[in-house]
Amino acid sequence: MRAVKTATAGALHLSVERFFSARPAAGITHGESPGAQSTAWRMVSAFGGLFFAGYLFGIFKGRLGAWDFGTALAAYYMDAENYSAFATLFFDLYSAALLQSVLVLACGFSALGTVFLGGYFCLRGAVMGLCAASVFMQGGTRALVIHWMLTCLPDLGIFLVMLWLACRSGACASVMFRCAFRAGGHLRQAPPLRGLLIRFLTALLLCAVICLVGAASGIVFAGVLL
């Protein structure tokens, strides 16, 4: 019985170590192959396309002027009080970026993570389009220009960081999907989870820098334009 427990514990330890190890599995070369780079570009194109589609849908719904949610968003982003304190503005921006980063990271641990990532980018685009259209409907072109000057830098920067993080998260999810739904049901290739965690920590640092710059620019532009 003791020998069986020892063998089982050893096998579990090796499986977990292989799962998180940066060492490539048999037949897998270290670094990204041309096929992996092609897959990453396809993910970028797919997620970017879904974001753009959601943005167009949000603009369409916002132009109808029938959504109270869009009106509330527009009022929030155009309120000068939200840009009166640097620390508060930075905390609000970074909290949103942190939640998005954790969401994208979590998708990498699910076999259906690519589906969830596509839904995230589509919904993110829809919210941004709805807000922009609502601002335009309430204040016209000048209000829309002010809105973009206040929010364009942090929104665009965080979107690019999330897209970069989603490529590695989607790669992990794809490996798990093949393991879960293809014949055999065993892990033939270790998901790059260690690389995903490193990229996640880097994304948090990048988001902090973007939010710092975005909060500073928001304070300056709001003081002049609002």
The pLDDT-based confidence of 123 (bands split at 50, 70, 90) is very high
Tens digit of pLDDT for each residue in 138-185? Answer: 888 888 888 888 888 899 999 999 999 999 999 888 888 877 776 554
Segment holding 8, helix H or strand E:
helix 2-20
C-beta of residue 212 within 8 angstroms of C-beta of residue 97: no
For 101, half-sphere exposure in the C-beta direction (CA atoms, 13 angstrom radius) is: 23
User: Inter-axis angle of helices 193-225 and 2-20, to 10 degrees?
Assistant: 40
The pLDDT > 90 percentage for the chain reads 38
- Return the domain boundaries, the chain: 44-76+85-225
58-116 confidence digits (pLDDT tens):
888 888 765 677 778 788 888 888 888 899 999 999 999 999 999 999 999 988 889 99
Q: pTM of this prediction?
A: 0.78
Among the listed residues 147, 152, 123, the one whose alpha carbon sits nearest the alpha carbon of residue 134: 147
Task: Give the number of other Cβ atoms within 10 Å of residue 51's Cβ.
Answer: 23
Burial class (CB in 10 A: 0-12, 13-18, 19+), 28: middle
The answer to whether the beta carbons of residues 69 and 130 sit under 8 Å apart is yes
Cβ neighbour number for residue 65 with a 10 Å cutoff: 12
CA distance 176 to 172: 6
Structural Rg of the chain based on CA atoms: 22
Cβ pair 57, 131 in contact under 8 A: no
